């Protein structure tokens, strides 16, 4: 009987898997920095290719808070680490898939960072 119940539970787990937990925004910081958390840890993420425009730092932070309020689910595409050891990633808001870095650039609150600009030129 025990084996039958165990087999049934395993079969149900295979047929109806739990959805993967997406990362969530815990807080927005200055300069395109986000505090991100998933089911078991939290870490700081620098939005890739985002360099604040001088004088627009507060507007950038406020817009990021509007785009990514606390507990907003996001999908990250990591692109490496910065000099401080933080994750640099392209950030997509879920469920609509908005590329947050591109949105900030379109709204003229940020420009391409130096590393991103040089990578774009070298890919041509």
At 34, give phi and psi (nearest 5°).
-125, 145
Q: What angle do CA 13, 19, 20 make, to 5 degrees?
A: 115
Enter the pTM of the model.
0.74
Residue 1 lies in a domain: no
Report the domain count for the chain: 1
Range of the domain at 108: 21-123
CA atoms within 13 A on the CB side of 9: 6
Identify the band that residue 114 occupies on the pLDDT scale cut at 50, 70 and 90.
Answer: low
Residue 10 lies in a domain: no
Over the chain, what is the mean pLDDT? Answer: 80
What confidence tens digit (pLDDT) does each residue in 29-71 have? 988 899 999 888 999 999 998 888 888 899 999 999 999 999 9
Check which CATH number belongs to the domain holding 67 and give it: 2.40.50.90
* 8 A C-beta contact, residue 112 and residue 49: yes
């Amino acid at each position: 009987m025990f084996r039958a119940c165990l087999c049934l539970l395993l079969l149900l787990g295979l047929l109806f898997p739990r959805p993967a937990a997406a990362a969530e925004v815990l807080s927005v910081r200055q300069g395109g920095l986000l505090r991100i958390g998933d089911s078991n840890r939290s870490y700081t993420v620098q939005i890739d290719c985002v360099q604040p425009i001088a004088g627009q730092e507060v507007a950038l932070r406020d817009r990021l808070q509007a785009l990514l309020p606390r507990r907003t689910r996001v999908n990250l595409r990591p692109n490496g680490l910065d000099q401080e050891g933080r994750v640099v990633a392209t950030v997509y808001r879920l469920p609509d898939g908005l590329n947050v870095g591109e949105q900030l650039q379109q709204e003229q609150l940020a420009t391409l960072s130096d590393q991103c600009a040089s990578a774009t030129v070298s890919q041509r």
